[in-house]
Amino acid sequence: MTNDARKDETGTTAGGNAGDVDVTIFVCTNCREATDSEARPGIGLIEALKLATEGKPLAVKPVTCLANCDKSPSAAFNHRSGWSYVFGHLSTDNVDDIVTGAMMLAEDERGFLPLRGRPMCLRGKGMTARIPPFHHHEDMPS
């Protein structure tokens, strides 16, 4: 999909931000706070992230499931031409850190989220996966 196709007639991206989108933050909407609860923490996280990302080259979109249920609520960063990342154990308390991490990814010319300076909630047990871009190639180790 082209950047123009992601914009509506006002020039605003699907995440509500003007300009080109470098990183999309997908937030799981399926996980519940407890097995007997109807509360879905991802919904509140999406709303808070949409406010926090206004005017930034970031989009925020819901996704039904990221298959990271043991670490819910979860979010994924998808760089337009770089790496993708899946994170868990997030909350609305992490909104500023999530935006900081997404901006670090958006600003990296390689489309890679550097470990140095990455907020703590996006490291260690908070990080579930790092997924290479489609065009990635490495030779087998010798």
CATH of the domain at 116: 3.40.30.10
Percent share of the chain, pLDDT over 70: 85
Total domain count for the chain? 1
Percent share of the chain, pLDDT over 90: 68
In a domain, 118, yes or no: yes
Do residues 98 and 50 lie in contact, with contact meaning Cβ atoms separated by under 8 Å?
no
Confidence category of residue 8, pLDDT binned at 50, 70, 90: very low
In a domain, 125, yes or no: yes
Angle between helices 41-52 and 95-107 (to 10 degrees): 60
Residue with tokens 């010319």: 109
In a domain, 5, yes or no: no
Residue 59: is its pLDDT beyond 70?
A: yes
Q: Look up the domain containing 89 and give its range.
A: 23-131
Residue 51: is its pLDDT beyond 70?
A: yes
In a domain, 140, yes or no: no
Residue 131: is its pLDDT beyond 90?
A: yes
In a domain, 142, yes or no: no
In a domain, 2, yes or no: no
Q: What is the pLDDT of residues 80-122, one digit of tens each?
A: 999 999 999 999 999 999 999 999 999 999 999 999 999 999 9
**pLDDT value of residue 31:** 83
pTM above 0.85, yes or no: no
In a domain, 101, yes or no: yes
In a domain, 77, yes or no: yes
**pLDDT value of residue 41:** 87
